[in-house]
Each structure stands twice: as C-alpha cells, then as structure tokens.
Chain A
Amino acid sequence: MSVLVYTESENGKFKKNAFEVASYAKAVADELGTSVTAISINADENESLGNYGVSKVLNVSNENLNTFNAKAFANAISEAATSEGASAIILSSSTDTKFLAPIVAGKLKAGYVPNVVAAPESTSPFTVKRSAFSNKGFAQTQINTDIKVVGVSNNAFGAHENTTTASVEAFNPAISDADFSTKSVEVDKVVGKATIADADIVVSGGRGLKGPENWGMIEELADVLGAATACSKPVSDLGWRPHGEHVGQTGKPVASNLYIAIGISGAIQHLAGVSSSKVKVVINTDPEAPFFKAADYGIVGDAFEVIPQLIEKLKEFKAQNA
C-alpha cells in the first residue's frame, strides 16, 4: 500500500502545483500510515520531491511523452498505481490533469473527487472537503471504492516542506500506438507569461474599461506584478479578449493569492468563479457595485485615473523592495 502522486512538470521543470500535491499526498500517507510514491514524466531534479515528503519517485523518461497526451499519461499513472498497490492517487487541478484524471478513474474503477480544498476529514470512510456549485458551496464527499482519486484545488492546501530522502527509479510503463489515437498537432501557448491557473496574482478587466483598446494599462499592471490577465464574461462575449481569459462560473476558476478586478461590477457568476482567491481588490466607479461586498479592499474611482497611478506606485514599490 502507498499513496501515489502525479507530479506535473513542464519542459523538465516541476510546476508549482507538483509540490502542493506532493505535500497533500504526504498528509494522506501520514493518516494512512504509509509512504508517498511520486510518478514524474520527463522531469529533472526528481530528488527535489523529497523536500515535500516523497520517499520514492518513479521517473518516466520517454521522448514520445514530451508533448502531453492524456491517454498515455493516464495509462502510465494507472500502471504505476497498480504496481505500487496505491490506495490513493493524488492529482492537481491543472487543465491537463483534469483531462487525464477521469481516464485514470475509469480504468481503475476508482471514485474521483476533484476540487478538494483540505486534507481528508477522515480516512475511514475516506472523506474530503471539496468546492461545489462553482464555489458557491462546499461538500463533504466520501469515496467508497478501494482506490481513491483526489484532485487537489490549486493554491488550497499549499506546499509544505517535509524533508525526506527520495529514491529515484526509472519506470517504463507500457505505451502503445493506441495511446496516441488522439494526437497533438499544434500548441499555441503564450510563453514567458503567467497563466490564470498558475499565477499568484491575476489582474482582471470588465466592461468598465469601455473597449479592447484600453487593455494596455491592464497588461502593464499585470507586467509590473508578474500577474496573469483575465476578464469578465461580457468582455469575452464581446470579443474584446480571448475566451481563455474569461473567469467565472462558465469560464475559468481563479484561485490566486491576489485578484484585482477593474471595472467589473461583480455578477453572481463572476464572484463564484473568483471566490477561491485569497485577497480580492476591486476598483470601480460605482460604489454600489456588488463586487465591493465580496472584496477585501476597494477603491471607488475611475480606472482610467486609478490604474496609471497604481502602476507608478507599484513600480516605485518594486524598486524599493527589489
């Protein structure tokens, strides 16, 4: 018996969520009185997982897996779970991992609970707290199958150092041509910029910005903060910004440390989607905007005056605190 964790990497480097899920796996393993095995795919510096409580790393090194493939990755994880006799499989909430998770669950006939926000309430029965109703509520969910698949929300449990020595073993799962019946042919991805899923800070604009030509200051503010840019639903529906930036109930969820909403009134669907963010700032001309009720800090004011001032102030702040 063990707890298996899939630690996601990109271009060989572990993603931030890899250390969060490893930490979560360690908490589960401690409850179950067992140890953590990680599976990594084409990742470097596998020993670093030992800092987060991983005792063993199954390192898959296979050039056919340089590009993400949900089925092949899911098969590798499932095979590792079987060979390790894993009773729990811990996954992240990245888009790629949410793609492969149900395949793992389907193959292993395992109950899968995504969007988990805390360590298990109990391990017998195995019960976890997760967000539901697009963050308008939480559920305690019990998993009744022998193998439990847990998807941990981004930025919810956090990364916790727990020094262990991780032994690294090569792992060669059976990968067949059939795994590539769905094949990536082109990836169009912004490089060198924070994404909504991974960013510590997200700067988001709404209809109050009046038009796509005014997004320069949003991008500049995001640059100063090292933040990802996002937008409200009407803005993406109007085509001012790409769909990938739409955050809210039917768009992407945001679980950043800091969320700055500019010219967004705060429809219930938007507030639901961003409610997992730890600190929320709203800048809006309308003091009656519903977002003020959901925010931690607010400025009632015109974005076109406030944002340039904020950019200047933050540049000063960054220079002082560099």
Chain B
Amino acid sequence: MKILVCISNVPDTTSKINFTDGDTKFDSNGVQFVINPNDEFGLTRAMWFKEKQGASVHVATVGGPTTEPTIRKALAIGADEAFRVNAEPTDGFFVAEQLAEVVKNGNYDLVIAGRESIDYNGGMVPGILATLLDMNFVNTCIGLEIDGTNATAMREIDGGKEKLTTSLPLVIGGQKGLVEESDLRIPNMRGIMMARKKALTVIEPINASAATADTKFEKPAAKGAVKLVDNVDDLVNLLHNEAKAI
C-alpha cells in the first residue's frame, strides 16, 4: 500500500496572530511553524500502517523553501520520502490541484490529509482532491482500518460517530481520534539524522489558478472587562435580564 500524507505548515497553536502590510498578510515574524495538528494525527496513523502492514509513506506539502523544516520533521517521524510543490499555497482549490498531480504521478492508494489546517481553516483540500481524482472520501475521520483494498472508517458526526465502509483508492480528512494525542511521536536523534538523508524532491507547480483570495485581515474586537459576581442569584439575573442568554 502506498500512502501519501499531505502536510500543511502552520503556526503553532499557541501563536498570537498578527497581520502586516496594511492588514493584507499574516505576520509570520517570531512565529513557530509546525506540522498542522490534524495532519500529524494522520501521519502518525500512516506510521502504524507502515509498521504493521508494510505500507510505504510519502509526505507532500505545497509551499516555499521555508516549509522544509516542517517536512524534515515529518521525515524524522518516519515518512520515507517527501515532495514539496514549490508554490505559495494561495487557496484550497489551488493546493488540491497541485496535490492531485502528486497523487496521480505517485499512484497512491491512500491519501491522508487533515480535516482542516488550523491557520486558514478552509477544510476543503481533502474533499476537492478526492473529487478531482474521483477517489472515495471520508471527512472528519477518527478511525481507519485497511484490509486489502477494503477500508472501514469511523467518522465524527454532530452528536456522535458513524461507521463507514469504503475501498481504496481513498482520501481521508483526518483529525484527533485517528490516533490518540499520546501516540504522537517526537522525533529522536536517529530519526532526525536519517531524515537528512531521505529524498525531499522539489516539484514545480502545475498551471492552476486560485479560486479565492484573501484581501484583508482583521483581529477580533477587544473584549470588554469581565463582570464578576459573587453569587449565583446575581449570575442568573444578569444572564436573564442583561445578556438575554437564558
């Protein structure tokens, strides 16, 4: 089984978000970039398929040279080979088109991407990718078993979960639940050393245009001070009469 894990290079979850150039760009100054958490759960599940079922695991990202430390981390965690499509990931449609080309050329059976990236929250790359390639697709995937070409997936739904049967070739939009938080791996020194020798192939992008463009950013309005109360009578009263929330 050949697996491609799609990785997005995103600001660490603790990052404070600021904008620059007249609020038209994200300010990456002083921001630590990491593997998108939803992708990392998928990568870790892919490692399980590698170790238990002999799968080969490649990773791909769409981004400039500054994304390479993040890709090397994926290699250090255990991916065999990496691809970087040398283009700014301008929007989800553009990224899906670039990744579709990588998938076609690599004949992958299973493509694992995160449900959404935690920066732009588009949540569309896996679904558009699957549609462009006419592959099966399961979103918000919280469990995946593969047996031959048959797949059983668990999906998170509003208020519960759903079990689905499907088959390879398959694209999933993964998230926490694919593996547990405690299963995530911190690369060890040997992994980091080996990652330096693994192939990281830079691919030039295919001709595709973005379907959307972010033209301006803003931060949420500052919050007024909290109103502290010292008893539940006052709280219920305020929630009813002032906030009109109950």
Contact = CB atoms under 8 A, between A and B. Distances in A.
25 contacts: A95-B157, A102-B123, A114-B122, A133-B119, A138-B218, A139-B216, A140-B216, A144-B211, A144-B212, A182-B165, A186-B162, A187-B163, A189-B157, A201-B245, A237-B181, A243-B176, A244-B161, A258-B245, A279-B239, A296-B226, A297-B235, A298-B228, A299-B229, A313-B232, A313-B236
Contacts of A314: 236, 246
A170 interface: no
Contact of A182 (B136, B181, B218): B136
A207 interface: no
A110 B37 CA distance: 27
Interface string A252-294: 0000011000000000110000010011011000000000111
Interface string B88-112: 0001110010000000000000000
B4 interface: no
Contact of A243 (B38, B125, B177): B177
A71 B136 CA distance: 9
Interface stretch (A46-54, A57-65, A158-166, A191-199): A191-199
Interface string A104-117: 01110111111100
Contacts of B126: 102
A113 B37 CA distance: 21
B217 A137 contact: yes
A269 B15 CA distance: 9
A127 B243 CA distance: 32
Contacts of B176: 236, 243, 246, 250-251
A136 B139 contact: no
A112 B124 contact: yes
A182 to B, nearest CB: 4
Interface residues of A, number: 88
Contacts of A137: 17, 19, 217-220
The secondary structure that dominates the A interface is: mixed
Interface residues of B, number: 83
A185 B165 contact: yes
B226 A106 contact: no
Interface in B180-224: 180-182, 209-220, 223-224
A149 B166 CA distance: 27
A271 B220 CA distance: 12
Contacts of B132: 106
Contacts of A139: 120, 214-217
B147 interface: no
A279 B213 CA distance: 32
B46 interface: no
Which 4 pairs between the two chains have the least Cβ-Cβ distance? A102-B127, A106-B131, A111-B211, A189-B160
A243 B230 CA distance: 33
